[in-house]
Amino acid sequence: MSRHEDNAPTLKSLLILSLILYLGSISILGFTIKEMQRTINERNKQITELSSQLSQIYNELSSLKEKIKAYNTSAIFSYERIYEKIKDSVVVVRGKIIAQFSPFWKEYSSVQGSGFIYNHTGRIIVITNNHVVDGAVNITVSLLDGDTYPARVIGKDPYSDLAILSVEAPPHKLKPAIIVSSSTLKVGDPVIAVGSPFGLAGSITTGVVSQLGRTISESQTGGYPIADVIQISTPINPGNSGGPLLNIFGEVVGITTAIIKNAQGVGFAIPSDTILRELPYLIEGKRYPHPWLGVVGTDMNFDLARIMNVNVTYGWLIVEVFPDSPAEKAGLRGGSQTVFVDGRSIKIGGDIIIMINGTRIRNGDDLSTYLERNTSPRDKIKITVVRSGKMKDIIVELGSRPYPHT
């Protein structure tokens, strides 16, 4: 028998053995893959359960944090403590204005309001309302203990109803209040006003934030709105104007500014963010540059939308565009046809402003508040309007609001 024939069974056996080993390895590998997949599925299930448990723990911790916060708040929320903290910072502002005038004599009448002391980068000032001291002479500031000192206006802004006074008083007599940002205020938050209603110095009234971002106007603004105003249920009586509006920690979040005649329990305050934004200008006697669009308009509503045959029931309808204004230069359009709605005449056919830089504009309050909070003169903004039933984006470079002659 040849050597080749002797090796044949051996090769065959090796081939069979290799095949057996190969099949066995495939089987083992398949088992291993299945085992790995099962392990992965179990781990994924454990991760899901752990994630759910962590989410539950997070929710419980958040709830506990809110309870602790509420407890701490209730523990320190004391009108007595708030008053004790602020009373020496609130002042009575008095002055005289010309009541009657002739070439031969002048008759003066007294004006009175409130104010509060503040330390702006080391300079002690009194903050009050512009309408309290507008046109006044012989201005004085009285502290709670009755001590009275001469004062003078160093800066003012009729568009925010703010005025800054310097006071000729010993520094140790002037105890500044603390101003914090008003951006955290929410509707329903309790607030406290301190002032001198009817000349009754050091009076405190309480209420809640009724709404934010309101718009009001006063005679000194020349018809322009005072934007981004806090509406409060806190009673504001004559003499309260210029006093601080406080949060539950006794910190200033606004300055009370006006009441609406014949209104029941509705007051207004300029937010502290406006004060802090304007102070660097006013304390140096400079004018604060308010953004200006140069339009007159009215809030949209269902009746207007039906008359104009548009499907937009919100927004701000442009009635008139001022000549040579930023709005005119950008191509915004005013009304062209006069109609009567609820007994008043309105020019329709103008652009309806519905968005600025992607932010929804529901009405004139939203428009004024957005511009005041977020823009400055020379800023370029994207205004989205509805024109002839179609949406259109228009880029406008804002101007600076003209100051009234005062």
- Pick the closest to residue 131 from 199, 226, 214 (CA basis): 226
102 is a catalytic site residue: no
241 is a catalytic site residue: yes
Rounded Cα–Cα distance for residues 217 and 114 (Å) = 20
The number of C-alpha atoms within 13 Å of 86 and in the hemisphere containing its C-beta is 30
Calculate ∠ Cα 101-258-222, nearest 5°.
Answer: 55
- Pick the closest to residue 157 from 28, 287, 42 (CA basis): 287
Rounded Cα–Cα distance for residues 83 and 279 (Å) = 25
Tokens 């359009």, residue? Answer: 333
Active-site residue, selected from the candidate residues 160, 182, 233, 241: 241
Where do the H-state alpha helices sit in 77-144? 79-86, 130-133
Strand partners, 203: 195
HEC profile of 14-78: HHHHHHHHHHHHHHHHHHHHHHHHHHHHHHHHHHHHHHHHHHHHHHHHHHHHHHHHHHHHHHHCC
Rounded Cα–Cα distance for residues 207 and 393 (Å) = 42
H or E element at residue 228? strand 226-232
The DSSP bridge pattern shows strands 226-232 and 390-397 to be unpaired
Rounded Cα–Cα distance for residues 245 and 168 (Å) = 25
Read off the amino acid at residue 172.
H
H or E element at residue 208? strand 203-216
365 is a catalytic site residue: no
Active-site residue, selected from the candidate residues 134, 157, 161, 366: 161
DSSP result, 318-363: EEEE-TTSHHHHHT-----EEEEETTEEEEESS-EEEEETTEE--S
Active-site residue, selected from the candidate residues 89, 131, 134, 365: 131
Tokens 């502002």, residue? Answer: 93
Q: Which two tokens stand for residue 291?
A: 């953004």
Rounded Cα–Cα distance for residues 388 and 403 (Å) = 34
Q: Are 241 and 216 in contact, with CB atoms under 8 Å apart?
A: no
Query: Quick one: CA torsion of 219, 225, 228, 234, rounded to 10 degrees?
Result: 30
What residues are annotated to the active site?
131, 161, 241
